[in-house]
Each structure stands twice: as structure tokens, then as C-alpha cells.
Amino acid sequence: MKRYLDPPENEWAALTIRPSSESKDIDARVRKIIDDVRTNGDKAVIDYTKRFDNADLTSLRVPDVEIMASPKMVSRELKDAIELARETIGKFHASQVITETATETAPGVKCWRKNVPVEKVGLYIPGGTAPLFSTVLMLGIPAVTAGCKRIIVCTPPDSTGSANPVILYTCSILGINEIYLAGGAQAIAAMAFGTESIPAVYKIFGPGNRYVTVAKQMVSLENIAIDLPAGPSEVAVIADETADPEFIAADLISQAEHGPDSQVLLVCSDQGLIEKVQKELHRQLADLPRRELAEQSLQKSRIIHLNSREEIIELVNEYAPEHLIIMCRDYGDAGIQVKNAGSVFMGPFTPESAGDYASGTNHTLPAGGYARVYSGLGLKDFQKRISFQEISEKGLKNLGPAIIAMAREEKLEGHGRAVEIRLSKITDNIG
């Protein structure tokens, strides 16, 4: 990691730049896959699965019997872990259920909103060597809690044509049994436009490689909603002299092991700590299975020393990290000053990996600076809000003249007349 000692504020922008990951080169390839799936349906999905996943499929849907067999493939220990995560994630997302009450905005004028589930949602779950069954929980739990009527999952098969059993098991405990064997851009296209087997959905959720990301962006321009713009994962750590360098190094590594385009940033007010963290990084990397990936990521990462708490918070808000770990004496106070971040981990015993799996918060978060404007996933992303208004005769007498005056000024005479024709039929003794 490169070190920066008390950089002046005009250098901060450069220090908070993410490693670039241009996607222009794959746009044309993704466009071709999307068009192909749109035109040729199942056949195209099956062809691409042969090509990219090396699997021969005759049908795309995972048979019920395979889902029912999945519990046998999962250890007791892992089942217990998944169950615990299901409970915490379930509790936190259930706490997001909101019933809004009506507001009388003027006498006789009542307005309210209703949260209604998005009827059809598609969850994309990456497969491969590290199947993300935790993402099944993070997407499936809010979808089920919101009451989405049709929840489908797409996940790529292994070369024998099977889905990962832990993914199947996790779906099954949430009651999700409509699972399709499809990965990459072809899965996104199938969920966006539908094929003979895979139904079109209204909104697509889930992480993936650059093909998946670009495909989601492309279909989002054509009537399909997507969860969040995606970017490589990242963490910022705020630390002072009270922080444990072993914890810091472990957190930095746990982020860096995601891959070479991940980024970590340590911002601290204690120079002595920097030495200790770097020593610890060296020690802890030694026997890490994904050492090579983590080292590549750390090479592009930064340690920044700043003297004041104010500067540290300001720089972090400018960076807008996906994950922010705060390990300093008064972490509660620092947390209150955070304005731009996806998810914040407070205090020494709250590692970022807790949020990835089991604290209860969602791990689908805005990276790449998107935390300035986007939120992590929550219940509301599986709902939409319909507004309602009900106006009484008295209410329309109150509002009517204002509506007519404004409509005329905007040259929309018909808008005013829809009010006038009603006012003409309201008897005088009302209101």
C-alpha cells in the first residue's frame, strides 16, 4: 500500500480515485448476446451455456427433485450458519416494513401512499468456483418479505449441468423454487425479455462480472428496472491510536481478497499505527489462500495520514466508500458525521465480513462512489409506492381556484376546466 503523509486538500480528489475498469470493449459482445437471446430464446441461452459454462443442457429449469435433494448436500454446521443469517437479515428487513398514514394536506384533501410489492422479480446469483449463496439471502429475504408474487433465480450451472447445491438449499428454505440454469449476460437478457422457459420480470437484482453489469445497464434502458449500478468492492477504514493493527490488517485483506480491482483505503491519525499495520499485512498475507489476488489489490491501495478528525471525515465523505469501518475511540461520534457511505461498521468488534453474511444489513451496496447518491438494497427496492388522493366537495372548493390559476398560467386550459366543471355542480351550502 502506498503511504501519503498529510496530503493537502487539493490532492484528495486524486487519492480517492478508483482503479479504472473500462467496459467499452465488451459492450458489443454483450449487445450481441442480448439480441440473440431476445430473438432465439431458450436456444440461445442453451448455446451460450455450452460455450461459457461448458455445460450441455436440455432444459433450463432446475427440477424440483434436485432442489429437494439439496439439503443432503449441506453440512449441519453450514445449515446452522445460514439459519442464523436468515434470522438476522430477516429481522432487519422486517423492521423496514412501513405503513404510512394519510395526511390532510388541506381541509377536505387527503393524501397517502401505499407500499406495494413489485410483482415479478429476478435474482441473479453468480456460480462458478465461489457460489454466492449469501446473496440468495440478501436478495431473497427482502423479496419474500415485500411479498413479491413471482420470484425467480438464475444461476449458472457447473460443467455437469447442475446448480450449486448450497444455492439451491438457500433458495429452498426461503420458498423460492423457480430456479433457472443460466449465467452471465444471457441470464440477464432472458429475465429482461423472457424466453420459452424463463419468464420476463419487471426488475433484476444481483451482482456479477462485467458482462452481467453491462447487460443490466443495457436492459435498464428498455423498460426493465435494475437494483444498483455495480462496481468493484471497496472498504475505507478510519483508525486512531486506539485501534488494533491486527484487526485493521485483517479487514483490509478481507476486502482485498475479492480481486485485483478491489480497493482499500486506510485513513488514520496515528503515524505509529501505519508501521504496525504494514507489518501485520505482511504477516497475515503469508498463508492466505487468495494471497495473490489480495496483493494485487493492495498494491493499488492507499494509507493516508491526516492530523485532524475533521479532515479524516471530510476525505472519507469525499471518497464515499461502499464499506466504512470506524475503529477509533469515539466511533459513535464519528459515525454521526458520515454523509456518504454504503454501510458503516462501528467499533473494534464489527468487521466488514459480519455485514457480508450475518449482522442483518444488506450486502448489496453502492461502490465506486455511488454511495454519494445511491443506497444499499432494502425492502423498499422490492416495492413501489403508489400515491392516492381523495378530495371532498369542500376540499375542491378550497383548492379549485389555485388549480385553475396555475393550469391557466401553464397554458393547460383543459386542466382548469376539469376542476370548473366539478365546481359548477357543487351546491353552495357545502363547505
Angle between helix axes 245-256 and 271-285 (nearest 10 degrees) is 50
Residues 6+ apart with CB under 8 A from 257: 288, 290, 293, 294, 297
Asked if residues 156 and 128 have their Cβ atoms less than 8 Å apart, the reply is yes
As a whole number of angstroms, the distance between CA 384 and CA 101 comes to 16
Report, in Å, the least distance between residue 49 CB and its own copies.
22
Question: What's the CA angle centered on 180, arms 44 and 186, to 5 degrees?
Answer: 35
Nearer to its own copies, 224 or 312 (CB): 224
Q: Would you report the helix, strand and coil content of the chain in percent, each value rounded to 5?
A: 45, 15, 35
Nearer to its own copies, 126 or 157 (CB): 126
Nearer to its own copies, 186 or 343 (CB): 343
Report, in Å, the least distance between residue 44 CB and its own copies.
23
Report, in Å, the least distance between residue 47 CB and its own copies.
28
Nearer to its own copies, 53 or 257 (CB): 257
- Catalytic member of 322, 352, 410, 413: 322
Is 413 annotated as catalytic? no
Is 323 annotated as catalytic? yes
Q: Could you tell me the CA-to-CA distances from 29 to 60, 118, 232, 261 in Å, in that order?
A: 22, 30, 21, 22
- Catalytic member of 258, 323, 352, 363: 323
Residue of 43, 66, 44 whose CA lies nearest to 162:
66
As a whole number of angstroms, the distance between CA 83 and CA 51 comes to 36
Nearer to its own copies, 203 or 305 (CB): 203
Report, in Å, the least distance between residue 401 CB and its own copies.
7
Report, in Å, the least distance between residue 5 CB and its own copies.
27
Which active-site residues does the annotation give?
Answer: 322-323
